[in-house]
Each structure stands twice: as structure tokens, then as C-alpha cells.
Structure 1
Amino acid sequence: MNTKRIITFLLICVASLGLKATAATIDTATTHSASMNKDLKAVIIKPAGYSTAQKYPVIYLLHGFSGNYSDWIKKIPAITKLADTYHFIIVCPDGAFAGWYFDSPVNKEFRYETYVANELVSYVDKHYATIANRKGRAITGLSMGGHGALFLAFKHQDVFGAAGSMSGVVDIRQFADSYGIEALLGKYGEHPDVWEQHCVVSLIYLVKPNALALTFDCGYDDGMYSGNQELHEKLLERKIPHDYTVRPGSHSWEYWGNSVTYQALFFSRYFNGEK
């Protein structure tokens, strides 16, 4: 009887070790932004079996308006399984309640373009075993984060090789009086040129065919649908390859939880040289 109990105990221990070995590790890192002179947190998910003996690609996953760095892991904890399945690192930055992921020409306390594209990328490459070049980096996000991901990728093609957007606010001019954008760019009627310089659909000229691997999607019942359709048509006009998907759904975590699984596959194919 004692022998059986010992064997059972050992089997349970081995099983427990096996579970730990196949589970992603979630870090909450405190990073410093010199440009904003403050510390910011980021969730960093390392895949199962993570080892400094090899290098991993990284997906930067941005939150939406009124959210923070912890949104994705709290709302869609299954993203850890995506890191395990495709063996990449996922980084969820903080873009503030309404930071919009650009450097505000009005308020110098909001420099989230510099933070994400330069400071955070440098931190992650220094502290984790990453493929530290554009071929090993992708960026995507939801809503405000979808805007941020494409904006950052368009402007920093030396940093990111692939980009996506889920229900992205790709035409911020539609919301000139909403979501805190005016506080960062000034009034649209007084500074239309500034708004153009920070609007994704107005920055397509920065992208040449095949310069970026692009994927974006939007629910048909989403208020962002018309802007995403416009972006798709403009990319077609310029003959810029991209994946664009319209699915049933609205501006919701249910939609984004489904969407991120398809985008993870797209980025995995990019990292493997299939895109």
C-alpha cells in the first residue's frame, strides 16, 4: 500500500511539472519612458519552454480607449495559449486612458509613439530573448489600439515588419469631438493638417507594396466599419497587398477574442517567412 501511494505521489509530481513546463509565463514589467519622464507597466507573455538559448519573435498587442496594459490578459486570458502555440512573445503596453499611441504636438506628457516604438521595444529587446529586428516584430491592437498599431507600423517600418488592426479607429476625423483626441491634436476645424498627419487612412502614402505584412478586420455591425472599408479600398487602389476581413459582430471583447486568433496565425506565418 505504501509503495502504491509513493508511486501515485510521484506520478502527480511529474504531471504537475509537465503542466508547468507547458504553460506560458506572464510578467508585469515596469518600464521607464524618458520622453515622458514616468514609469509605465506592460504585460509580457513568454511562451512555454521559453529559453534564453533561442530567440523569439514578438507581437505588440495594444489596448483600446479607456483601457490599460492589463486589458488583454484580463479579458482574453487565452492569448497565453497563442504564445504557446506559435512560440512568440506577446507584449501588452500601456497607452493611457486616451493616449492614442502618437506623440501629441499639444501635450508633451503624451508621447506614446516614442514610448512604444522606441523605448519599450528597446526595453523588451534588452531584457528578453527576442529577434531584435523588424522581421521579428509585429504590432496589432483593438479600436484605439488598432489605430495605434497601423499608425506606428506605417511610421516606423524599420521597427515593425507586420501590422494589424481589430475594429481600428483608422479614420480619427470621424470622432473629432470624441474620445479625447482633440486634447491631443487641437480642434479639428483649427488644425486639420495636424489631424491628417495623425490619421491612418491619410498615411497610406508612406507604405509601398510589400513593405509591410498587413492584416485588419472589423465587424459588420461595428461603428468603425466604414473607416475600415475606406482603408481597404485605398490600399487596393495603391496595390498594397493586405488581408482584410469583415465578420458578423460589433465593438466587443467577444469579437476581439475571436479576431486575435486569426491575427496570431497571420503573424506566425509572417515570422516563418510565409507572408
Structure 2
Amino acid sequence: MAFMDCHFYSEALGVSVSMYVVVPQITQSQIGMDSKIHGKKHPTLYLLHGLSDDHTIWLRRTSIERYASGRGIAVVMPAVNRSFYTDMAYGYKYWTFVSEELPALARSFFPLAEERELNYVAGLSMGGYGAMKLALTHPDRFAAAASLSGALDLGRFAREQVRNDDFKLIYGDLSRIEGSENDLFHLADQLAANNAETPQLYQCCGTEDFLYEDNVRFREHLRKLSIELTYEEEPGEHEWGYWDRKIQKVLQWLPLPANL
């Protein structure tokens, strides 16, 4: 794999931003790497960070580069600060950045595939919310989405935070989250009502995680709507040992086309 530490200007945000990108590379003599390339343009996983982290965290806390190499998948890891992947009421347009500008710029910089069936999104905690939001809002763009310990019941999560100044800056009136374009339950309702092609969805959470009940509620909501979901739970907390194990499962689960 080739690793790029990429710094570029965002028109959506009006500032320079950062992302890490790893891209498949075939090597003959590199020790300890199972390298694979599917074609001239690479299947791509957009991998999202959590509330207290940045674009560097997945590479620092896991072996994502090594895991992705065996699957021949490029991984794009953007920084979005504490934005909850949202166009903020009092701040920056991070949803516009991550949903529109980022994929276009990444494809202009690197040989990344544009086809729906070759694009995937995943994330942990806040990033799990962002992954599901992207997939449910734009099911035509992503073949699969995965949430690891995601903050999926955003209305409850924002209301019950002891320090919720971040959420007031992001959303303004917190009572307006539920039923809005930022509410995953509402987005799932819309997807089901429109009979749109649903991305394959994966969700996992540790049973000792403080977000476990939120994940159970979201799972049950998707089941009520007959939206297919791969769901896994096991003993585990909100920590990197769990996420390192689960991102390996996600990479194996991703629906790479058989003809690649």
C-alpha cells in the first residue's frame, strides 16, 4: 500500500483540511504484506473518525493499511473535527464537505473508482453515525455502510449530554433533530417509503458500551422497516481493541464484486 498525508483547500469549509489516504500497490519483495490490485481505479472505503479524534486515528490505533492491502481497497480518512458530519447551524458545512466535495476531490487526486458498487463507508462512534447518514441519504452512491459502536440515536444522545455546547453549535435547537435530515431513524423511514435500493448495512456494538441501547433501538427500527441489516453484538466497551477486531470483519464483509 502507498500512504499519503494529504493537505488541501476546501471550498465548502473555506479552510485548508487534511486526510490520510492509503492506496493499493503491488509489490514483489515487501515483507509481511498481502497486496492486491483490482484494476486501474480502486474500490474505496471512506473511513470516518469519532468525536474526540481526527484523520490520523485509524492508522495510529489499528493496522488498517495492512488489513486493506489484502482486499485491494483504497481507504480515505478525512478530518471533520467535532462536527457530527453535519452542516453546522453556527459553524462550517461539514456535511457538504464530506458528502459532496471530499469524494470529488479524492477522485481528482487519486485513482479511485466512481461506481456505486465500488464505494463503501464505515466509521466508529460519531463516525458510525456519519457512515449511516451517508448511506441512508445517498443510497445511490454507496454499496455498503458499517457502523462500529455508532452514536445512532442522535436525538437522545444530544439531549442527554451534560456538556452539549457542541450540539447547540451544530444543530441549534436540539428539539428539532428528530424527524430531520440529521435523524437516522427518519432517514431510514424515508428510504423504506421510497423503495430505494438499500446499501448493505452492518452494525456492531459491545454490550458494555454506553451506546449499546441506542444501537439496539436502531437495529429494531430497521427490522420494523424490513431493511436488511447484518448485526453483531458481543461483550465489549467503547475502545480500540474492539474496533481493531471489528474493522477486520467489516473489510471481509464488504461486497466487492466477484468479477473484479
Tell me what 1:272 maps to: 257
Amino acid at match of 1:150: M
Matched, 1:205 2:192: no
Decide which of 47, 50, 56 is 1:61's aligned counterpart.
47
Give, in angstroms, the shift of residue 217 of structure 1.
0.4
Question: Could you list the runs of 5+ residues in structure 2 that have no partner in the other structure?
Answer: 27-35
Matched, 1:122 2:104: yes
Give, in angstroms, the shift of residue 51 of structure 1.
7.3
Give, in angstroms, the shift of residue 31 of structure 1.
2.8
Q: Is the 8 A contact 1:185 1:195 kept in 2?
A: no
Deviations 1:104-137 (A, max 9, x none): 2x12x32111111111100111121121122111
Q: Is the 8 A contact 1:140 1:163 kept in 2?
A: yes
Deviations 1:45-65 (A, max 9, x none): 112328796121100000001
Could you tell me how far apart the structure 2 residues matched to 1:71 and 1:196 are?
32
Tell me what 1:86 maps to: 71
Amino acid at match of 2:18: K
What does residue range 112-191 of structure 1 map to in structure 2 within 5 Å?
112-175=94-157, 176-178=159-161, 180-188=166-174
Could you tell me how far apart the structure 2 residues matched to 1:240 and 1:52 are?
30
Deviations 1:156-206 (A, max 9, x none): 223222111000000112222536222211242xxx234431121232113
Tell me what 2:80 maps to: 95
Deviations 1:34-89 (A, max 9, x none): 1111111000011232879612110000000121110111111x111122100010
Could you tell me how far apart the structure 2 residues matched to 1:51 and 1:216 are?
27
Deviations 1:222-259 (A, max 9, x none): 01111111111111111111101001100001111111
Tell me what 1:47 maps to: 24
Percent of aligned pairs with the same amino acid: 25
User: Helix, strand or coil for the counterpart of 2:70?
Assistant: helix
Q: Is the 8 A contact 2:206 2:237 kept in 1?
A: yes
Tell me what 1:196 maps to: 179
Aligned length: 242
Could you tell me how far apart the structure 2 residues matched to 1:212 and 1:261 are?
19
Structure-1-length-normalised TM-score = 0.83
Could you tell me how far apart the structure 2 residues matched to 1:111 and 1:42 are?
17
Structure-2-length-normalised TM-score = 0.87
CA-atom RMSD, angstroms?
1.9
Matched, 1:240 2:227: yes
